[in-house]
Amino acid sequence: MSNHPAQHPYDPNRFPHFESPYMSPRLYDVMYDASGKTRAKNHLIMIARDEFLLCWLSNERMAVRLEGWRASVGLPEIVNDIADFLDRVAGRLGVPRRADLGRIPCTPQALFEDFIPEWCRLQDRLYTAYQRGREVMDATAVYVWNELRQPWPWLAGRLAYHVFQQAWERAMGITLVHQMVSHLDDHIWGPWVQPFRFVFETMPGELLTKARQRLMSEAHKAARNLQPDDATKSLSLPKGSPQKKQEDNARRGAGWLYSELIH
């Protein structure tokens, strides 16, 4: 999880802010990297993983396990205390819900100065729990490898992150909607282009319509000279041929696998 410092200087523009958990690059790679031979295959892998996790999180028996992992690092008590604190801050500032606190403009410090010491203590408790993320990661790994008997570090990583993310959402009174970028997005996963410059100049007395036509014609010719950067081309997978039916099959397959593993 995140590695927050033990001390937090007071910033009136961020009161009563609590940082959400964030992932190290290594954990992010474990959770979301795929290993297909095409980008379309990786796209299907991510769909299947998301569907499997959704099935897992919707199971009431699994919710008990999640709460057990949260309790192991003291998160339930921290969540309740932060929620109560934010409710009192919202009442002081005349905000109907604690989730709306992030939308109000900065207010005079005199209105909440007595809350600042408690705010700092709660931050310390929350960020200390974040720093114990390794314990939760180990517990989820034992579950995935010993009980599910699957070599899936991605599932252990996503479950561990969900333990902290859902706790933070409860404390804030909000629900975040996550949307991962698709491996089919050319502007992200496609190869970068080599340096290239295109210049267009109008001619004296040229009509606007003629200039536009000439511009489009020259632009089409110039586009044929665009080439991928060799340094990134070798790192890029072919796109493949994704089909809607394959996405549906990936979701159904993940649901079936989940029902076979959790019975």
Using 50, 70 and 90 to split pLDDT, how confident is the model at 3? Answer: very low
pLDDT of 148 above 90: no
Please report the pLDDT score of residue 9 as a whole number.
62
Please report the pLDDT score of residue 230 as a whole number.
63
In this prediction the pTM is: 0.76
- Output DSSP code: residue 34: -
Please report the pLDDT score of residue 177 as a whole number.
79
- Cβ neighbours for 161, distance < 8 A, ≥ 6 positions apart: 1, 21, 23, 27, 31
Q: Report how far residue 6's alpha carbon sits from residue 252's, in angstroms, rounded to the nearest whole number.
A: 46
Tell me how far CA of residue 189 lies from CA of 38, 40, 186, 192, 238, in angstroms: 11, 11, 5, 9, 10
Q: Taking each helix axis as running N to C, give the angle between helix 39-57 and helix 244-261, from 0 to 180 degrees, rounded to the nearest 10.
A: 40
b/e string for 122-160 if b means 16 or more Cβ within 10 A? bbeebbebbeebeebbebbbebbeeeeeeebbbbbbbbb
Q: Report how far residue 56's alpha carbon sits from residue 258's, in angstroms, rounded to the nearest whole number.
A: 7
Q: What is the pLDDT of residues 172-200, one digit of tens each?
A: 999 887 777 788 887 777 767 777 788 89
Using 50, 70 and 90 to split pLDDT, how confident is the model at 209? Answer: very high
The label of the residue with tokens 């192991």 reads 72
Please report the pLDDT score of residue 48 as a whole number.
93
Mean pLDDT, rounded, of the chain: 86
pLDDT of 110 above 50: yes
Please report the pLDDT score of residue 89 as a whole number.
93
Please report the pLDDT score of residue 5 as a whole number.
45
Using 50, 70 and 90 to split pLDDT, how confident is the model at 225? Answer: confident
Q: Report how far residue 252's alpha carbon sits from residue 116's, in angstroms, rounded to the nearest whole number.
A: 50
pLDDT of 202 above 70: yes
Q: Are 44 and 246 in contact (CB under 8 A)?
A: yes
Q: What is the pLDDT of residues 151-169, one digit of tens each?
A: 999 999 999 999 999 999 9
Please report the pLDDT score of residue 14 as a whole number.
80
- Cβ neighbours for 233, distance < 8 A, ≥ 6 positions apart: 191
